[in-house]
């Protein structure tokens, strides 16, 4: 009896296993689908590289000129002469040019115009007498607000405004041989400008190493 019972249990277990296998999914003969590959989004580095955009070259400025924004100031000519009483005199012309595409208004500031020569002799002009620009007797911004007619309008394409200068200086006996050797100098002055968009700028101008025609050496 005991053997029969064990045999019966074994047969029942086998039938249950067959039933469980019948409930499972039948194996499929269809091929397993392959995953889809997404194309790479990295840039193609093998193709031609587009030309980079280049900024316009900055406007050139001569070494002996002053350039700031739209304003360019040049010394056209300076001539030096000597008197017998230990004085030198320098006369010449300065040019004020507008190099922008918009209007520019310019006036001089009433400060001493100074020429430091390459031999240490200094000449000055105390005040402007004959000029092509108006002269502000006070601060530039205040001058424009109260007396805008003082400012010379220089339109695009206009000829430069000319300023006549006349400077004088003294020298002592030990410097007498140097007067005839003067060749260059640094000229300093101040101006104020107002652009078409209303922006304002103070200009402390230094024209370095400007040539001087030395008539004392002749």
CATH of the domain at 128: 2.60.40.1470
Mean pLDDT for the stretch of residues 126-151: 88
In the Cβ-directed half-sphere of 210, how many Cα atoms lie within 13 Å? Answer: 26
* pLDDT at 157 > cutoff 60: yes
Say how far apart CA 199 and CA 2 lie, in whole Å: 115
Look up the domain containing 207 and give its range.
Answer: 66-217
Question: What is the number of structural domains in the chain?
Answer: 1
Residue 148 vs residue 56, higher pLDDT? 148
Residues 6+ apart with CB under 8 A from 149: 134
Q: pLDDT-based confidence at 23, cuts 50/70/90?
A: very low
- Identify the pLDDT of residue 6: 46
Say how far apart CA 10 and CA 8 lie, in whole Å: 5
Question: Is 31 domain-assigned?
Answer: no
Question: Is 13 domain-assigned?
Answer: no
Q: pLDDT-based confidence at 85, cuts 50/70/90?
A: confident
* pLDDT at 64 > cutoff 80: yes
What is the biggest distance separating any 2 CA atoms in the chain, rounded to whole angstroms? Answer: 157
């Amino acid at each position: 009896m005991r053997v029969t019972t064990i045999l019966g249990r074994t047969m029942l277990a086998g039938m249950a296993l067959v039933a469980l296998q019948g409930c499972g999914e039948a194996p499929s003969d269809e091929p397993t689908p392959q995953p889809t590959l997404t194309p790479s989004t990295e840039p193609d580095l093998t193709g031609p590289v587009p030309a980079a955009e280049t900024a316009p070259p900055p406007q050139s400025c001569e070494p002996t000129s002053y350039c700031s924004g739209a304003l360019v100031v040049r010394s056209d000519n300076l001539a030096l002469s000597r008197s017998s009483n230990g004085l030198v005199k320098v006369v010449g012309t300065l040019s004020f040019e507008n190099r922008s595409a918009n209007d520019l208004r310019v006036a001089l500031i009433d400060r001493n115009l100074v020429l430091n020569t390459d031999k240490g002799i200094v000449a000055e002009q105390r005040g402007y007498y004959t000029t092509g620009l108006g002269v502000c007797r006070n601060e530039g911004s205040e001058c424009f607000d109260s007396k805008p007619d003082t400012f010379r309008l220089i339109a695009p394409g206009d000829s430069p405004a000319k300023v006549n200068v006349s400077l004088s200086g003294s020298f002592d006996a030990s410097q007498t041989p140097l007067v005839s050797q003067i060749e260059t100098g640094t000229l300093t002055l101040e101006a104020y400008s107002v652009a078409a968009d209303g922006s304002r700028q103070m200009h402390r101008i230094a024209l370095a190493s400007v040539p001087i025609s030395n008539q004392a050496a002749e």
